[in-house]
A and B are shown apart, each in its own frame.
Chain A
Amino acid sequence: MNWLVWQQHRKQFLIFALLAVIFAAVTVPTGLHMWHVYQQSLANCGTHDTCATLGNTLFKHGLENAMFLIVKAVMIALPILLGIFLGVPLVAKEYLEGTNKLIWTQSVSRKTWLTAKLAWTLGVTVVLAGAFTALTTWWSRTGNALYDDKFGALNFGIQGVAPVGYALFAVALGIFLGVWLKRTFLALGVTLAIFLVIQLAFPLIVRQHYIPTKTATIGLKDSNSNISEPPAPNNDVGAWVVNGHVVDKTGVPIDWANPPQQCRANAPGPNQTTADRAKGVELKPGDAIVGADGGAPSSFLCLKENGYSWSVRYQPSDAYWKFQFIEVGIYAILALVFVALTYKLVLSRDV
């Protein structure tokens, strides 16, 4: 069986292996150089007091700037490409070309045949996705150090171990849909649609519930002119802030449509119109309420003086690996479900 699987599928296996080599050829030199530049900047920033803002100045041009985008794009595309080119045709092509009738009447049972094909394909998927993910994780150390945002929606899913789970799931899903629908292009489209929906659902809805969130109360800053974004706890800048509200002393969230009378700003923010002012100023998330003299926003200071603060729910940055393993585990289980469905269909269905 191994001989046949290799004869049939080595082309796809080798093309993906070649892509991994190309990816390494790009990430290794840029990764080394960027880390070097970062270390140098770190050594020099003390004299100019710019250490905290290196992320605003480094790697803003050329290839290294583009690499942040390229690496993300490659890692988002990888599971989809594996699912479409390794998964969907794996068994579907045999149904389409009728070769299942040739192979299922040799002296090897369908189960043995399917097991060999699945073991090879899922094994190659793990190795390839593992290689891409290891390279990305290593390459991302500069960005992680600069931005401290490993929980970010686009960072979490391309580093660590989670991408291996995505790839396994996409391939298993593709295999199953290929067998079930027996039409390559239809299966390809459905695989893509289901995969994308699930990939969006995880960061938006599912992931935050892996472990109970922690709560922190964070004081309002004098200079904070943008009140729409809940901040991370001061002692854990890399934490994942799930949500947050500005609350009063008793913990009741502020009603932005009807802010406390004493804090209504007497100067307009840039987003406010004269008509708004005539109605009485409303504080809204996203409105910058800057004082007329360009100093601290008066209403904001007022809120602070009246005991308002941010109450945020967050996942601490040291829970990162726990999240990675929970995520890869869930995706691996989903992949197993589709593997089991594939067995059921292939073994029981007429040709």
Chain B
Amino acid sequence: MDQDIMVRTRDLAKRYGLFWALKNCTIVVPRGSITALVGPNGAGKTTLLKIIASLNKPSKGDIAVFGLQPSQSHEYLAEIGYLAQEIPLYNQLTAAQHITMGSKMNGRWDNELAQSHLERLGIPLDRAVDKLSGGQRAQVGLAIALAKKPKLLLLDEPVAALDPLARADFLSSLAEASADAEGDLTVIMSSHLLSDLERICDHVIILAAGETQLCDSIDQAVWSHKTLIGSSNLRTDDPSFTVIQQIKSAKQTRLLVRLANPDTIPSNWHAEATDIEDIVLAYMGRHKGDNTGGKL
């Protein structure tokens, strides 16, 4: 096993009844990265995270997480932190009781970390969590996931329901935790908008219609994708690039492409740099109207 790889999947697929929520999902997540998992609603993000968290079993394909198959074993679960989309907590328990629960249910547990995290944010420890705001609940969920000291932290749309301020707080808490772990913490978090997460992520995986569209570091992705502009009579089936998105007008053709060799711009084309948000939107646009999975 490659020591630098935290999660590796090959042709991972998951079927619910007749519906393929995930198909041909092949990803590599480097150790220590903060990876954004983006895609439209129904693209399979939650399914992928649940499989990694060993909550769901894949229908086919291979997956290895720090060299192990996800399972409900103590050894595996101890290395995983997971925060589900709706931030489930025991409503009648307080934050302090959630921390106690964590300490009783986990061999490795940092009480101090969870407590100081919440105290620093001024979140009351002695109030039932159903009395807390959405942002505060998210922080309680994060504190519990972090106090496990996991190798891999999985966050499913953690900021989707938060207001901009709570969102910023949450992301800085996360960036801080990642920095404190000095490379021992890998984070995968999903969102349907990259702009939510871009600030702290260094890797990106794009899922659409249950399939992997892109899995790369953000720097690499930005470097290998370019906007090409040329006259409208130029051929677009050039082997030196893959067209992700094209806009044709009478006079000119505008393409967003992945270049096979980013150092060489195809002749006759004028290349412009593009940013990661445009790239993500282009990939997601490719599957518009087809973004609810489908038959394999």
A343 to chain B, nearest CB (A): 12
- List the B side residues contacting A347 at CB < 8 Å: 72
| Chain B 66-96: CB-based contact to A (< 8 A → 1; otherwise 0) | 0000001110011011101010111111000
Contact between B107 and A107, CB atoms less than 8 A apart = yes
Q: Which residues of chain A (8-65) have a CB below 8 Å from chain B?
A: 8
**Given that A7-B97, A99-B89 are known contacts, is A107 also in contact with B55, CB under 8 Å in the complex?**
no
- List the A side residues contacting B53 at CB < 8 Å: 101, 105
- List the A side residues contacting B56 at CB < 8 Å: 350-351
Alpha-carbon gap, A7 to B93, bound state (A): 8
| Chain B 50-69: CB-based contact to A (< 8 A → 1; otherwise 0) | 10011111000000000000
Partner of A106, one of B57, B77, B84, B86: B77
Cβ-based interface call for A275 (8 A): no
- List the A side residues contacting B107 at CB < 8 Å: 107
Alpha-carbon gap, A109 to B53, bound state (A): 12
Cβ-based interface call for B148 (8 A): yes
- List the B side residues contacting A103 at CB < 8 Å: 105
Contact between A110 and B84, CB atoms less than 8 A apart = no
Contact between A3 and B100, CB atoms less than 8 A apart = yes
Number of interface residues of A (CB under 8 A): 23
Contact between B84 and A102, CB atoms less than 8 A apart = yes
Number of interface residues of B (CB under 8 A): 35
Alpha-carbon gap, A104 to B88, bound state (A): 12
Alpha-carbon gap, A105 to B92, bound state (A): 20
Alpha-carbon gap, A235 to B54, bound state (A): 67
Contact between B89 and A106, CB atoms less than 8 A apart = no
Cβ-based interface call for A197 (8 A): no
Cβ-based interface call for A111 (8 A): yes
Partner of A98, one of B81, B88, B144, B148: B88
Cβ-based interface call for B101 (8 A): yes
| Chain B 113-149: CB-based contact to A (< 8 A → 1; otherwise 0) | 0000000000000000000000000000100100010
Cβ-based interface call for A97 (8 A): yes
Contact between B16 and A107, CB atoms less than 8 A apart = no
Contact between A102 and B80, CB atoms less than 8 A apart = no
Cβ-based interface call for B106 (8 A): yes
A182 to chain B, nearest CB (A): 14
Contact between B57 and A350, CB atoms less than 8 A apart = yes
- List the A side residues contacting B102 at CB < 8 Å: 106
A209 to chain B, nearest CB (A): 43
Alpha-carbon gap, A104 to B73, bound state (A): 10
Most A CB atoms within 10 A — which of B77, B97, B100? B77
A165 to chain B, nearest CB (A): 32
- List the B side residues contacting A109 at CB < 8 Å: 72-74, 77
Contact between A101 and B89, CB atoms less than 8 A apart = no
Alpha-carbon gap, A295 to B90, bound state (A): 76
List the 8 closest A-B pairs by CB distance, nearest first.
A98-B88, A106-B105, A105-B82, A350-B56, A107-B78, A101-B84, A107-B106, A99-B88
Sample 26 A-B pairs with CB under 8 A, ordered by A number: A1-B104, A4-B101, A4-B105, A7-B90, A7-B93, A99-B90, A101-B53, A101-B55, A101-B82, A102-B84, A102-B141, A104-B55, A104-B77, A105-B53, A106-B77, A107-B74, A107-B78, A107-B148, A108-B105, A109-B72, A109-B77, A110-B72, A111-B72, A347-B72, A350-B57, A351-B55
